[in-house]
Amino acid sequence: MNKLKEYESIINAQKEHISRYESRLKAERNRIEEVLKHERNQLRQELASKDAVIEEKTKRILILENQSRTDSSVTIAGTSVDQLLNDAKYEDQSLKIRELKKRLDDERNLNEQLELQLGNLKTQFLLNMPDRMGGSKKRADQMNAAATEQPLEAGPNSAVNLKESLQDLQKEMMNLKKQYAIAVADEKQRVRLAEESSKRLREIHEERVANFESRIRELSEMVGKYDRLKEQDKEHILQLKNTIASLQTQRSEQDSSTPCENLDRESIEDGYITRQRPNDHPTGLAPGENDQTKCDLNISADAGTAEADVDTQNELEKYKRRYEQTMSENQRLKKELLLNQECIAQLKQKIDIQKQSTAQLESELQQKLTEQQMALKNETSKHAEVLSAMQASFERQIGHLQDSLQKQRERSLAVMDEKDEEIKTLRTSLEILSLSAASGRQQEPSTEAPNDVQGDGNRWNAHTDTSSMMISSFASMDEEHQHLLHYAQEIAPMASRKRSGSGTKRPKEKVVHIYELLCRGEDPKRQSAQFWEEFFLLQPNMDMLESELLKLSSEQYPAAKRNILELFTECINILSSGNAKRIHNALQTIGVFIHVLFRKQTIGGAAGTGGDFNNGSGQSITSTPASFITVSDIEEDMRELLKQLYDILASNIASDRPKDLCMKILLIIATGIDNVNENRLIEFIIGQNMFEAFKHILSDSTLRNQHGHDVVTLLTLLVNYRKHEGSNPYVVELSLLADEFALNGAHMRHRKLASEKISKPQPLATTLLDLLVEFIVSHLLKKFPIELYLLCIGIIHRIIIYQKRCRVRLAYHWKELWTAMISLLKFLIYQEQNLMKKCNIFELALQVINIFNLFITYGDTFLATTNSYDELYYELNREEKVFCELHAMVLRYASMQDCEYKEDAIRLLNALSNILAIIKHFQMKIKEWLASQSLSTPTEQQILEQIQKNYDLTLKLQDSLDQYERYSERPKHVQFFANLVKQVMIDTRKTVYYLLKESNKSAVIECMTGTGVAERPSPSDATEIAIIHTTS
């Protein structure tokens, strides 16, 4: 029983101790909250006082400005009155004084501008203002007194004094300006110091608040621990009460089993053994008998109490033994628990090691996958290159075969012409012989000879070798016909010589012969007055024309210059005719002429440096640009040519207006020289302004499919012509273009998008973001294009800043953008060793982190829904390993002394603070929730719910998140665009002239086979062509 009472006293003492400790904790907590409130009030009062001081200073500055203006106006009024009095006396000096007044007014205007610009920082001027104004007033009074005391005759001396006084005033104004500047600088310094001190106070306050919050968290944790201890103590107290109650019940049972009928119930319950009172003894007994019964009861009670004491002692021993057993059992269980905890810790370490190894294996697997993808891309690119090379070789072989076929057909045509001539000559000889045979038939009665002659004539028509047979059949003629036989014998060997020699050397084409005549300087109209109309019916040979023009030397050129210029002029004149074949041939000739003109210029320019050149046919070219045609020679012709080309391109008739050749000629003009700014022929395109024709082509679906690529290429070159020197009409027209068909007619995609993304129209910004996300994901190569990535991330940054400033909530799937940027960060972390040797990866990572900070800080201004915010925080917590590894990498480089990019690393470290705080906050909350719910793998929806419930987080405000460097082509990107335009011009020049020559060859083949789609010549044209052949 005593032990039970001791247990109860110990428990009560513990309760009192816990209650006292709780009261202390509450008092400490209240004290800390009061201190925090007091400090916050002090900081608010300090900020309010500073704001009041700033407002007072601004008011004082405004008052000083007004006083200075009123004082200056008073002094100006006094001086102006004096000057007017002097002007009335001295008319000659008035002009000078007015000029000086104008200068003073100008100085005052400048002074007022300076005062307006620095009006909020002039408190120092208040101290020096009265002395300066008094001195200036004294000087003005002295000057006025001196001016009035001087006699009227001293006109020149007064003018000199006025000049000196004005100079003094100017010096005073300069001094005032200097003092203003000094006062403004001092006030700026003070304001800067005040801002720094306020910033420091704000930082100190934030640190104190953070410390107090941490202290409150610690105290709350301690209170929670003590609450748990209190609950445990309550449980122990209940257990002790239960044990005490069980002991009491056992004791009462034992007492009830003993023969003590005369004991009171209350004495049993109280634990005391008392006898009955004397007045309670049974009635009817004598006093002696009562005494006897008392003695018996005492003896029996003593025996019962002794037995009860023995039993309780035995039971207490049993409880002691049980207590010792339970204590030993507890010790054994504690040891087992410690062993189990050690095993669990070892297993956790092994699990962490396994996780690290799996993460490393995953990274290696990802790296191998990227390498295999890169290798696959390289193989596909090599395969594509091989295919393109094979295709090009096949095309070259086909071109060679076509050339050989054309040559073979030309040879066959030449042979057929020779055969026709031989047949004509033989027919004339046959007619002569037939006349002689008719005279012979009149003398001879038989008719065998005419039949033989007719048979021989038929054989002549069948084959040209029958002339010898005819000679043998007419061997029996008279002597008067021997001269005819001699003529036939002479014709036969000549025809055989012609046939044997026709296979070795083929004759020249008619058009090539005309080219040679023109280059020799001969007059082409000497053959026919309609020479040019007949000439343009012939299919031009572009290779031969180019070769003949390039072969001209400086000695040959003066004789050929007139014919070449006339050829160019006639080509332009033919364009206004209605004949499609003549227009087609003229345009091909113009293309060759302009191409040769540029080649002569480039070859001549390179020949001046000592280079030797070849025209492709083995013949050396040594002409200089001064010996060939210049721009001034063809200036009028070029204007007319551009006008004709504009008419053709703007016309709606497609059959007789070859728009393709016109575009090819314009591209030849635009790409003639590698440097677009040195091409003088482009000035004619700029002056003609063919933008309306280009817009007409782009607006029409059929024309756009045929010529849209050429139009866009030409516009690209034209807008880059001297774009930094003056206004370009094509740039102006493009900026004002509002034709939807011309702008959006050609649908272009980087790749096919999913159908759900394009089920409805979307803004241009979303399409641009899709393209940029695709670029980020698909260009993570070992040869990392960091410049392109900086431009890509910069574009995304500008789009988001525009959304934030204009408060435009773009309906976009931002999760793909966040995933792509996290993948980029992961790539930078894993490829750190390779990339740090080549480029500054911290600059790129800083731009990516700033975009995340923009979403975190200002996402509520441009994100479409609140779920987007939840998804952002979910992605940050899901990829928390990437940000932690990035933080570790940046921390390592920021602590290095010899790191080249240390400043960028420090900026990136500061930018990561909010993201790391978010990850730490939500990871703790999620782990606590998982422990309370006994979960190990939660779902995405469960994590999102926990994020929505735990937004109680204070973040640091990042500065300059919506600031970016404005784009300017000069001076960083000028060389890049110049090289880009140069490469475009070189590639376009090669392909355009090649296509022009291929079209010429196809036209030649079509004319020879008669299966072309071009318009065939009319009967009159055919007769003219026949006349040209016969005259040759």
Domains of the chain: 2-241 (no CATH), 510-747 (1.25.10), 762-975 (no CATH)
Q: Find the mean pLDDT for residues 312-335.
A: 85
Please state, for a pLDDT cut of 70, what percent of the chain lies above it: 70
> Which spans in 807-934 are helix H?
814-830, 832-835, 841-862, 866-878, 880-894, 902-911, 913-933
The per-residue b/e assignment along 341-359, b for 16 or more CB within 10 angstroms, e otherwise, is: eeeeeeeeeeeeeeeeeee
The mean of the pLDDT values for the chain is: 74
- Rounded Cα gap, residues 856 and 914, in angstroms: 8
- Rounded Cα gap, residues 345 and 612, in angstroms: 84
Strands (E), 762-811: none
CA angle 717, 633, 682 (to 5 degrees): 10
Whole-number pLDDT of residue 733: 84
If one compares 674 and 281, the residue with the highest pLDDT of the two is 674
Residue 874 has pLDDT above 60, yes or no: yes
Backbone angles phi, psi at 621, to 5 degrees: -120, 125
| 395-404, 614-623, 790-799, 864-873: least confident range | 614-623
What residues contact 928, with CB distance under 8 A and at least 6 apart?
Answer: none
Can you name the residues that pair with 614 across neighbouring β-strands? 620
pLDDT digits (tens, 9 = 90+) for 471-509: 344 444 444 444 444 444 444 444 444 444 444 455 678
| 125-129, 547-551, 576-580, 643-647: least confident range | 125-129
Confidence of residue 904 (pLDDT cuts 50, 70, 90): confident
Confidence of residue 1030 (pLDDT cuts 50, 70, 90): very low
Can you name the residues that pair with 620 across neighbouring β-strands? 614
* Residue 665 and residue 571 in contact, taking contact as beta carbons nearer than 8 Å: no
> Mean pLDDT highest for which of 31-40, 689-698, 763-772?
763-772
* Residue 4 and residue 312 in contact, taking contact as beta carbons nearer than 8 Å: no
Whole-number pLDDT of residue 95: 63
Whole-number pLDDT of residue 739: 65
Residue 141 has pLDDT above 90, yes or no: no
Q: Find the mean pLDDT for residues 449-466.
A: 41
Q: Find the mean pLDDT for residues 609-630.
A: 46
Residue 516 has pLDDT above 50, yes or no: yes
Q: Find the mean pLDDT for residues 930-940.
A: 85
- Rounded Cα gap, residues 298 and 306, in angstroms: 12
Backbone angles phi, psi at 613, to 5 degrees: -130, 160
Q: What is the DSSP letter of 526?
A: G
- Rounded Cα gap, residues 205 and 228, in angstroms: 34
Full-model pTM = 0.43
If one compares 253 and 296, the residue with the highest pLDDT of the two is 253
Whole-number pLDDT of residue 139: 54
What residues contact 697, with CB distance under 8 A and at least 6 apart?
Answer: 649, 659, 703, 704, 707, 708, 711
Whole-number pLDDT of residue 33: 76
Confidence of residue 844 (pLDDT cuts 50, 70, 90): very high
Can you name the residues that pair with 613 across neighbouring β-strands? 621
- Rounded Cα gap, residues 481 and 429, in angstroms: 13
* Residue 632 and residue 680 in contact, taking contact as beta carbons nearer than 8 Å: no
If one compares 44 and 642, the residue with the highest pLDDT of the two is 642
Can you name the residues that pair with 621 across neighbouring β-strands? 613
Q: Find the mean pLDDT for residues 632-643.
A: 90
Q: Find the mean pLDDT for residues 143-155.
A: 47
Whole-number pLDDT of residue 97: 63
> Mean pLDDT highest for which of 124-138, 163-177, 718-732, 981-995?
981-995
* Residue 93 and residue 158 in contact, taking contact as beta carbons nearer than 8 Å: yes
Residue 331 has pLDDT above 70, yes or no: yes
Residue 44 has pLDDT above 50, yes or no: yes
> Mean pLDDT highest for which of 20-29, 551-560, 957-966?
551-560
Q: Find the mean pLDDT for residues 23-43.
A: 77
What number of helices (H) and strands (E) belong to the chain? 33, 2
pLDDT digits (tens, 9 = 90+) for 950-994: 887 777 777 778 777 777 777 777 888 888 888 888 888 888 888
Confidence of residue 302 (pLDDT cuts 50, 70, 90): low
